[in-house]
Structure 1
Amino acid sequence: MVLFNRAPQGPLEYGRRLWLKALLFFTFFFLYAPIVVLIAFSFNDSKRNTTWQGLTTKYYGVAWNNPDLIQAFTNSLIIAFVQTIFATVIGAMVGLLLWRFRFPGKTGYEGVMMLPIVIPEISMGVALMAFFFKIGWLTSDVSWPFNLGPIIVAHIAFSFPFVAVVVRSRMVGFNMQLEEASRDLGANLWQTFWKVIFPFMKPGLIAGALLAFTLSLDDFVITYFSSGPGSVTFPVKVYSLVRRGVTPDINAASTVLILITVIATIIAMKLQAQPKASKG
């Protein structure tokens, strides 16, 4: 028995499909073509980096043997990892607070918490610079890696609201009856959190952590205003180098950074995947 009859594709439907395919093509082209060009020219055997002169991997060695570039790259990774841990913990607590509890001034608290997301980065960068100068943090002579402290604090300040938003959005779909059932079966608050709430929150927690990591890794404006002597990060270092022209070693270092981001995304997607139900 025929459940339904598919209408024949006419010129109008064919035109819509063609328009949709063209839109998708140009969207992906403008999104990923610059990345493909950057990766390709990291293997270009030319110092000018404007015309293709041949295939080589020597500029990866040049980037690896550049101590200033490696130091800036290391600073960015340390800042990203450390601030992601703190931003994820703080953002998760704030997200749970806004999802679970009602208290006086909740709307105002939520608005203040969202300020780092909505205000311009340049304004937040200047405000943080003034704050760090006021307490003498940017002018104090401390050794590495303690000189990265102002940048880490600044990155936590602007990234934890993103984690809070993701976690809260995830927890909106939580079935409160599961928590009630856990308490009825004798579990205390801590056991209920780890056995019932945390597994449901885990995908949002991973997504928020990945978002905080990537935001920190490529931030320039806030980092530029929060960095002190000897605390140059990779985006700031690249900015100082590209004023003299983009060279293949910069492309090579940027390619490695893209690779790290892709690997982190793949790991996050693997961790987000729900375990398959075991066969009985």
Structure 2
Amino acid sequence: MAAAAPARGRRVRAIGWPLMLALLGGLGLLYAPMAALVVYSFNASERVLVWGGWSTVWYGRLLDNSAIHEALGRSVLVGAASASLATVFGAAAGYALARFGAFPGRGLFAALGAAPLVVPEVALGLALLLLFVSLDQAIGWPAQRGLVTVILSHASIASAYVAIVVQARLARFDAALEEAAADLGCPPFQGFLRVTLPLIAPGLAAGWLIAFTLSFDDLVIASFTTGPGAGTLPMLAFSKVRLGLSPEINALATLLLLGVLSLGVLAFVLQRRR
């Protein structure tokens, strides 16, 4: 038995090295292009692949570009509004799944709620577009697509992510805390505000940040559901890329990348808080 243990350890180490190399290779393929993007955003040359020294001139041009300022403002507005709506509806769905037990139709409810996680974005965008067109024909709203339709679309999709975060947060706490508050005479709504809400507050904040990040970074859904004059920052970046690569696009993409990564890290930290 004693001799078998070192043999197993050698086999595990022998298998571990190829897996580690594969992992490092995958990470390299993922992050090497991002690193190159960041480096070339500081390129002084106007030619994308010709290095001309370090410079922040392209970031300065972004600050002077009024179209980017307007698109950024729309993206922040859409992200904040859709994240707030998604947090309300997603938290309600997550609470129902975590606390209401095996109610009739729970499996179907959970499956439909998680559908945006697996359905391709093109299919979701087309479905939302058809929905808004049908509503326009039936009730005359929306007369035209714009920021409101983008906000509703992003909120409906991001709600699934918030529901998962809130449900996981509630699963870490004992429902007996809420039952104890009820036994002490605390009304249900007051018990939710004074017991449940403080417990899930980090999860709500993390869910809001995830929803904001998904909205801020979205291109496909917004392309289907927006209208003239309501383009977001990713849509502006994509339209510029179609005209050709430039260091200014590298700088814009770098800012988008850093913003999304920062929000993602903050959401992770909040979710890990006890």
> How many Å separate the matches in 2 of 1:234 and 1:41?
20
TM-score (norm 1): 0.84
Question: Is the Cα–Cα contact under 8 Å of residues 83 and 212 in structure 2 kept in the other structure?
Answer: yes
**1:182 match:** 181
**1:7, CA displacement in angstroms?**
5.1
**1:123 match:** 123
- SS in structure 2 opposite 1:236? helix
**Which one is further off, 265-274 or 18-27?**
265-274
Percent identity, please.
Answer: 37
**2:260 match:** 261
- Distance verdict in 2 for CA 1:109–1:10, change over 3 Å: closer
- SS in structure 2 opposite 1:175? coil
- SS in structure 2 opposite 1:93? helix
**1:36 match:** 35
Question: Is the Cα–Cα contact under 8 Å of residues 94 and 167 in structure 2 kept in the other structure?
Answer: yes
Contiguous gaps of at least 5 residues in structure 1: 1-5, 142-146, 276-280
> How many Å separate the matches in 2 of 1:76 and 1:84?
12
Question: Is the Cα–Cα contact under 8 Å of residues 203 and 270 in structure 2 kept in the other structure?
Answer: no
**Which one is further off, 150-159 or 111-120?**
111-120
Higher helix share: 2
Question: Is the Cα–Cα contact under 8 Å of residues 206 and 270 in structure 2 kept in the other structure?
Answer: no
> Which letter does structure 1 place at the counterpart of 2:109?
Y
- Distance verdict in 2 for CA 1:29–1:229, change over 3 Å: same
> Which letter does structure 1 place at the counterpart of 2:179?
E
**1:91 match:** 90
- Distance verdict in 2 for CA 1:20–1:70, change over 3 Å: same
> Which letter does structure 1 place at the counterpart of 2:77?
I
Q: CA RMSD in A?
A: 2.6
> How many Å separate the matches in 1 of 2:128 and 2:49?
38
> How many Å separate the matches in 2 of 1:162 and 1:21?
30
Contiguous gaps of at least 5 residues in structure 2: none
TM-score (norm 2): 0.85
Q: How does 1:124-163 map to 2 (within 5 A)?
A: 124-134=124-134, 135=136, 139-140=143-144, 147-163=146-162
Asked if 1:233 is matched to 2:199, the reply is no
**1:81 match:** 80
**1:14, CA displacement in angstroms?**
4.7
Q: How does 1:163-242 map to 2 (within 5 A)?
A: 163-242=162-241
Question: Is the Cα–Cα contact under 8 Å of residues 138 and 227 in structure 1 kept in the other structure?
Answer: no
- Distance verdict in 2 for CA 1:20–1:87, change over 3 Å: same
Question: Is the Cα–Cα contact under 8 Å of residues 42 and 251 in structure 1 kept in the other structure?
Answer: yes
Question: Is the Cα–Cα contact under 8 Å of residues 213 and 263 in structure 2 kept in the other structure?
Answer: no
Instruction: Note the alpha carbon deviations across 1:10-35, whole angstroms, 9 max, x for none.
Output: 76455344334323322321222121
> Which letter does structure 2 place at the counterpart of 1:21?
M
- SS in structure 2 opposite 1:131? helix
> Which letter does structure 2 place at the counterpart of 1:48?
R
**1:163, CA displacement in angstroms?**
1.0
Question: Is the Cα–Cα contact under 8 Å of residues 128 and 154 in structure 1 kept in the other structure?
Answer: yes
Question: Is the Cα–Cα contact under 8 Å of residues 237 and 252 in structure 2 kept in the other structure?
Answer: no
**1:231, CA displacement in angstroms?**
0.5
- Distance verdict in 2 for CA 1:117–1:210, change over 3 Å: same
**1:104, CA displacement in angstroms?**
3.0
Q: How does 1:7-46 map to 2 (within 5 A)?
A: 12=11, 14-46=13-45
> How many Å separate the matches in 1 of 2:26 and 2:204?
29
**1:196, CA displacement in angstroms?**
2.5
> How many Å separate the matches in 2 of 1:137 and 1:82?
19
- Distance verdict in 2 for CA 1:11–1:117, change over 3 Å: closer
> How many Å separate the matches in 2 of 1:181 and 1:64?
55
Question: Is the Cα–Cα contact under 8 Å of residues 44 and 52 in structure 2 kept in the other structure?
Answer: yes
